[in-house]
Structure 1
Amino acid sequence: MSFFYLTAVKGEIPAHLLETIALERLCYLKEVFNMKELCYSEYLVEGGMYDNVGHFLLCVITIICKNIEFKRFIMKTERDLFEQRLNALCVYDLRCFAKKIIRSIKKQQYTAEFIEPLKTLCEHLMLQDLANHVCLESHKRNCNDHHIQLHFKHCLLFVAKREIDLKNGTAFIPCGKWKQFLIILFSINLSYKLEKSNVEALEFDPRISDLLNKLKSHIDPLLSNNHNNNYLLNSKRVDKESKNFPPCMLNIHEKLRKQHRLPHTERFYYTLFLKDIGMPVDQAIDFWRFEYRQAPNGIHSCCHNWEKNEKKFVYGIRHMYGLEGCRRNYTSMNCQRIQSFDSSCTSGGCPFKTFDHTKMLSILNMDSNESLWSQLYELKSRHNYTGACIKYMQSRNLVVIKNCDIDNASFNFTPVKYYKHVSLKTHDVI
């Protein structure tokens, strides 16, 4: 069996053992999320029977649970676990991994579109010379010594970011991106299972219902309707997650990382944004402590530092989480509110409204010759800043949103909604 999890293991397992397997895997995924050192577990030996059962069992629980935040947790942590395992493979193990996937594909009749590129990639990774090359410590992500050729539709994420070469509809994926491509295909496979699997027969199975009830105390802290916990975002993961931030929050994040200081208003907005995408109060304190203990860099208006103002900082953060003062549980701003602020302020606010062309192209990581830029500029000139942001989100991040009218974009759209759409590639109506 492969830890790519194309097929579920067959057989019979006692209900009490299923409970143990599911609980062990859930706790293990929490450790993965919190970036703690992973300990050996007989239930998570990669590619083992219990590992396979645990993966598919949590997929079933996720589908039945029907909670978007728990789904996000499973998708992110399973992906991170796969990435860790993949990067730890030696040449021999990588070839065995690829061979197992090829054997599984040959045994089954798959209809999912990701199977074709997966098969092509694994056929290359099976080869001794290519596996040796990819596993070299000196192998870099920009290496292009070898390529695989696929139809461009199979690697749209690379195409959208202009990270690969295209010729007559054929994409050339360099070897430096093969592992990254495997991780993308794993995420697609997992998303496909969570979206397409039919578990109606299990939904009312008393054994599954009993298991879900027993796991509830472990799942509840991950759900968005729990007090201040939302989806637990570790302070150390913010840089990694920032690739999914809307331009307004990405701009503030990059400014903070560069200067280690923010004006009060921007610090207030950004703290609430991090809170609403799942950062607990203790992680928020750790996050701001790390920044404000560093010496400020460049021109800034904030004169605070953590050592002198720790009590004030901690109180302010806890106040925003509803734990101090009037105990009001603040929520982050929507796009309409952000756009209503003084447009002369170019250090924060909505980039589609306040930034000049040069700064806007920089934060959007775009070239002025791109067709998307002309579309965004047209929406900006019509003062449809929210529509421009949604258009950018859809085009740059391959998010498809049903019944979305760009010209009459909802002012209920928020930076938090942007983040959730991008991080999950959701198809919900705005």
Structure 2
Amino acid sequence: MQFGSRRKKIDTSPQTELYGHALQFYVQPPLENISLSEFETFAVDRVKLLKTIENLGVSYVKLSEDYKKKLWNESRNLNFPYKLEASVKDEKKSQIGQNEYEKRRKDHISHFILRLAYCQTEDLRRWFIQQEVDLFRYRFDGMLSDQKREFLHRNNLQYNTITVEEKKALQEKLVISSYAVSGVTVESQDFYKVPFQDALDLVRTRKVYLKAGYVYIPHQEIVTIVLNDFRTRLSKALALTARSLPAVHSDERLQPLLNHLSHAYVGQDYSIQKNVGKISLEQIDSLSGKSFPLCMKQLHQSLRENHHLRHGGRMQYGLFLKGIGLSLEQALQFWRSEFTRGKVDADKFDKAYAYSIRHMFGKEGKRTDYTPYSCMKVILSNPPSQGDHHGCPFRHSDPELLKQKLQFYKVSPSGISQILELVKGMHYQLACQKYFELTHNFEDSNFSLNHPNQYFIESQRVLGGGKDIKREMEAPQRLQENSAAKGSTAAREAAANAPQDLAEMPEELDSFFQDA
């Protein structure tokens, strides 16, 4: 599959040439064959990296020392390129080692895999572009001057530096118009002469000198031009990729992987029921007020008030309750008791609703033990319509209605403003995490919120009532981490023997992609 670019393509077909520089515009798609195991591992690791970037971008000033340190550590842990400080001369001389080559290969291939997964909707494209741009900015910032010049040359970004004589003639103007440039530093750095239409952001913010249709950009500001170019290329590439999706989705091996990648949850598996019976039916009302995330709290409140939930709400809330410890017998008792208080009699409940409850516990149909919905699945799939109460309040509620809900739950005015600001920036999970901090009197929670059941576990831990639950839930997490490395091989064998199983996401793949 080919992805377009507005600039001239460079002949980078040999892999050694393609990975000769630590940074890419991702113009040339990967042409090699890879295993399905490698495909999914690369993709999941890049999702982890991009989610880290999103969290860091809200928690820290971008490119601050703390931001760079944490992103450096995450890149290293996930085996992505993280050392960009070698000079171009040294890099060419060594022809990069095998270890570095594998990191660059992984970075290249994983980027194109996520293009396939995140081109499907406007929200997904917008999120993917923002995180990729932030990753690119971090990497470009970490390069030395000669590496940056080499990168511009490789990607046909022919922005010429002005001569020493021209710099001296314009020195006063350059100092006055350019941020962080003084009479001393102007002599020691390069200035690029660029058509003004390629630097509209810098012109708009009056950070550069403009003359006769050209702007004079100091070396440290050239990143703005490069980022604009990268964003434009990636946006066009995603649009082209979206057109090719029908052909990709016809491959029964890839369709389930790509469909789940955009909803990928790579944390703890809350479907393993070692904590069954830890929660009693009498506790649910109390726990909903103290430890339920807002999405589950509004479902519980609606169920108590209306004695009914539509299918989307029953699935989202029912699987959440299953994840916090409700057994099948308790679940049947809970839903029957509530529905029969409304317009549903016991006989109708047994005929119309009991089957679906047993089904979500894996006791009916194809016997799939369904997992509780992750935040990404709640946010991105099956949006609520009129009369529904499922979904994510931070994503699907009108801002004014969300404000009223937060006021009802005693969130302070300043806290509400912080949450609404995160919602405005489409950081819905971070808004929920801020809600957790405000309602639990936390200055800064030391976890990254990705799952409603994680919210519950962390809340119980903070309140001192979830030690047993926490201990029981840690075991399946360790099992999942241990099986991740070898689960893919088993999945590949299963796929070879029974291709139809891939379309239903075998258990081995669930360790990477939750919430089928």
Determine which structure has greater relative contact order: mean sequence separation of CA pairs < 8 Å that are 6+ residues apart, divided by chain length: 2
Highest CA radius of gyration, 1 or 2?
2
TM-score past 0.5 threshold:
no
TM-score after normalising by structure 1: 0.41
